[in-house]
Amino acid sequence: MLLPAVWESFAYALVALLVIIDPVGTAVLFAALTPGDPAAERARQARRACLIAFIVLAGFGIGGRQLLAAMGIGLPAMKLAGGALLFLTAADMVTARGVLRSSEEERQEAVRTQDISVFPLAIPFIAGPGAMTTMVLLQSQSGGQVWSMLAVLLALALAIAATLLALLSARYLSRLLGKTGSHVVGRVLGVLLAAMAAQLMVDGAREALSLH
């Protein structure tokens, strides 16, 4: 009876994490945020972001609930904070400060490329409030069983691997869109990202108010 339960935990965790992380959507955002970066730099940032995201999410999966309880932080507060950070990134995309670059600016950026691997790529794009919350919930559902928790961590590793593959393919998407297409997509995604950020903050505020 142990194997079916472990397999069920693995399958449920993998589907949930793939939906929450959204590797393809994250790759599109990555391409929009790094239209002028060299392929080697994109690959480096993608690998670093996925490693950081795995460590953060695995940490939340192992002891997230205990950590939040010890710090007196609730899940609604995490959603509010994550939404605010995401909104700042969206504003940068919409105003084109991080997406649009003139030829002279591109030459300058070749010397000092902005590293987005930690923020916003690893956090909150990959390891966002939703993914952190999901890991905490999966930990609770494992019931403290070691094999079930290992199955969740394996599912997380596969979801991060799928995300890395999508990010490494982002440059082909960028080539397909072209410079103008990347600019347009970047602004449109910025608006959608702002809406996602607002929804996160609304959900966090609603959950916080329902606790009182």
| Tens-digit pLDDT profile for residues 113-131 | 478 999 889 998 999 887 8
Mean pLDDT of the chain: 81
| Helix pair 23-33, 146-168: axis angle to 10 deg | 40
**Cα–Cα dist 48/93, whole Å:** 22
- Sort 155 into a burial class: Cβ within 10 Å, 0-12 / 13-18 / 19+: buried
When pLDDT is cut at 50, 70 and 90, the band that residue 84 belongs to is: confident
- Give the model's pLDDT for residue 106: 41
Say if CB 8 and CB 113 are below 8 A apart: no
**CA-angle at 94, arms to 133 and 25, nearest 5°:** 45
When pLDDT is cut at 50, 70 and 90, the band that residue 189 belongs to is: confident
The SS3 assignment for 107 reads helix
Highest mean pLDDT among 62-71, 114-123, 183-192 belongs to 114-123
On the question of pLDDT at 184 being above 80, the answer is no
When pLDDT is cut at 50, 70 and 90, the band that residue 55 belongs to is: very high
**Cα–Cα dist 161/135, whole Å:** 17
- Give the model's pLDDT for residue 104: 46
Highest mean pLDDT among 36-50, 100-114, 119-133 belongs to 36-50
When pLDDT is cut at 50, 70 and 90, the band that residue 111 belongs to is: very low
Alpha helices for 99-169 (secondary structure H): 103-111, 129-141, 146-168
pTM of the model: 0.71
Type of residue numbered 181: G
**CA-angle at 92, arms to 88 and 97, nearest 5°:** 155
CA distances from 94 to 90, 125, 126, 194 (A): 6, 17, 20, 9
What is the average pLDDT across 193-208?
84
Say if CB 10 and CB 77 are below 8 A apart: no
